[in-house]
Amino acid sequence: MRPTEHTDQLGRTIKLLEPPTRIISCIPSTTELLHDLGLEEEVIGITKFCVHPEEWHQYKTRIGGTKKLHMDKIAELKPDLIICDKEENKQDQVEELMQHYNVWVSDANSLEEGLEMIALLGEVTEKTEYAADLRERIESEFNALAKLNEKRSTKTAAYLIWRDPMMVAGEGTFINDMMQRCGLVNPFPHGENGYPEVSAKMLQKANPELVLLSSEPFPFAEKHIPAIQELVPDAKVLLVDGEMFSWPGSRMGKAAVYFLQLLRSAKP
């Protein structure tokens, strides 16, 4: 059988002799996508952070965390395809896996790149129809969001991902692209790895109209709002679902509706 070639989002090419039947996902957002592409039997390993779908989280073999993959468990599963992510997984571990397995790497920092990822993984797993349907639905929902945002004025917003030290999502990140889809302007630049550390003075100087406290990776909660509100008393401080802002893949199919609800709650 002649091998098929597939290009990942780093521009690398992998060759598969047949469609993969033993897949390991090293990223929570991609695990959810693989489920929605109908790969119930093919996915055999996931990380401990792959909480969607819940049934997979309960019974699929766990191969460690996104930053600490267990190579011994991966070897035991004998995968014919491993899916990693440039940002979520550690480079040295991904490179080690590349020496032994077919590794496909995602790198989605925008809606367009997220849609590309869906299409490419649909091709790799021979689920192109599922992928095309999902892409069409996501594009339709975000087009509707864009039309509604044409009637709204933009707001400046800081998106906090960590509490101590305080860190924000900067320009060039997937989160920043999702913020722009909401009509929000990010006052912070790219920074190191896209997530710059900011001081209280920097947040005050930025003077955002909104401060969004994400549910992940730091689990912001109601108890954290007063301290932030004290720093920027004129801002509206909101808790937000980090999965909606940071998960490329099928989660984008729920994000546009969520953003509409969020924008309504952000009104004065």
Question: Is the residue at 178 inside a domain?
Answer: yes
Residue 36 has pLDDT above 90, yes or no: yes
How many domains does the chain contain in total? Answer: 2
Tell me the average pLDDT across 69-74.
98
95-126 residue pLDDT tens: 999 999 999 999 999 999 999 999 999 999 99
Same domain, 89 and 182: no
Look up the pTM and report it.
0.95
Residue 191 has pLDDT above 70, yes or no: no
154 compared with 213, residue with greater pLDDT:
213
Q: What angle do CA 154, 159, 163 make, to 5 degrees?
A: 155
Q: Pick the last residue of a domain from 76, 107, 138.
A: 107
Residue-level pLDDT at 28: 98
| Domain of residue 63, residue span | 4-107
Contact 148, 142 (CB under 8 A): no
Same domain, 171 and 100: no
Question: Is the residue at 54 inside a domain?
Answer: yes
250-266 residue pLDDT tens: 999 999 999 999 988 88
CATH classification at residue 57:
3.40.50.1980
Half-sphere exposure of residue 141, counting CA atoms within 13 Å on the CB side?
Answer: 19
Q: Pick the last residue of a domain from 83, 107, 131.
A: 107
205-243 residue pLDDT tens: 999 999 999 999 999 999 999 999 999 999 999 999 999
Residue-level pLDDT at 146: 94
76 compared with 151, residue with greater pLDDT:
76
Task: Determine whether 134 is exposed, middle or buried from the number of CB atoms within 10 Å of its CB (0-12, 13-18, 19+).
Answer: buried
Q: Pick the last residue of a domain from 49, 75, 107.
A: 107
